Amino acid sequence: MTHIRYAGYLASGLFATLLLAACNQNPTTTEAGATTAATADSTQTSAAMPVSTSFGNTTEGTEAQLYTLTNAHGLKATITNYGGTITSLMVPDKSGQLGDIVLGFDKVGGYQSPEFLKSGPYFGALIGRYGNRIKGGKFTLDGQTYSLPQNNGQNTLHGGKKGFDKVLWDAKPGSSADGQTLTLTYLSKDGEEGFPGNLQVTVVYTLTNNDELKIDYSATTDKATPVNLTNHSYFNLALGQSKDVLAHQVMIPADRYTVVNDQLIPTGELRPVKGTPFDFTTPHAIGERIAQVPGGYDHNWVLNNPSGMHQAASVYEPTTGRTLEVTTTEPGVQFYTGNFLDGTLTGKNNTTYGKNAGFCLETQHFPDSPNQSAFPSTTLKPGDTLQSTTIFKFGVRK
């Protein structure tokens, strides 16, 4: 049967589709008052299929592919089947000039280099089986304790030492009424990285003609297992013009956030943001109060009204006029400001990625949920289907 996962937090795929269609009836204005980059009829479809090219050989000797999706207004998303990674997003600024707004590399080797693997930034990748941290690399489910690889101090981060970001996904390019698509599938076998159950995962990227990158996640299992899927893109809406994102203005509609300890593991407290540097219920520049947060922002915000498709964040970059609106079916979002980037990585166009070079908005269930009974459950059971959707909508404010 199809399971509407975690009632009150996720809508069914049908509901999300209907709601998205309703939203598309008025695509010209965002909540922040930004006009979208679209200039043509948003119902126009892209008849052509995504273009596939070689992305180079992986260290395992297999060839990774790169797929370029283009919409009716010239926006482009390039995605590799290695890690399901978004390597480039070309969107216009207020003058109509296309520019790449995500951090990444030109070849698959960049994502497998010793420097990248050591620092572990997960540029643009699909994250699983469990996004974010699990305390002590352990959890108990149905009376059995499972041990996972400890790849973040004593804790497990983003699925373990070889999460979904480091596997070669099966890829199928296509098109739909909304735009060009890339469907990625992967079977995570029972016991992989310590997790129980054979987990069949499908992720569909759609670059819509409404200037959105839509990500639909679904998964089934033959044994109860925790699942928390997300995407780990680093955005810089002024990439190439600014080396950091501190001037970006961010709004997150969340009255509470999950308090963490010095290892970034939730204590269980959901603390009000009011009167703290975590209050983004009205727009604030990232750099305005970041010095008040030890290490920088790397926390989960508890989204308000988390039913159906709901807003997770909005971002405005004053120099370029670019805007980003994030909606999701997930109850939380991890806002991360690239605190661990240290200038040792050089990416596309010989760009050096230093501290705060990009920000992430990782829609998700809460960190360490398998060990936090008060948090929304992340347990997927046999016979149920996980369904989740996140949409990144691009626009400009002139």
Which residues are identified as catalytic?
Answer: 232, 362
* Closest to 300 (Cα-Cα) out of 267, 249, 345, 257: 257
**Cβ-based neighbour number of residue 56 at 10 Å:** 18
Q: Specify the amino acid at residue 297.
A: Y
Phi, psi for 377 (deg, rounded to 5): -65, 145
Angle at 210 between CA 209 and CA 214, to 5 degrees: 90
Give Cβ neighbours of residue 356 (< 8 Å, ≥ 6 apart).
244, 245, 246, 286, 287, 290, 296, 337, 338, 339, 341
Supply the DSSP string of 33-54, one letter for each residue.
Answer: SPEES--S-TT----SPPEEEE
Structure tokens at 317: 């970059």
d(CA 234, CA 252): 17
Q: Please, what's the b/e burial string for 134-156 (b: 16 or more CB within 10 A of its CB; e: otherwise)?
A: bbbbbbebeeeebebebbbeebb
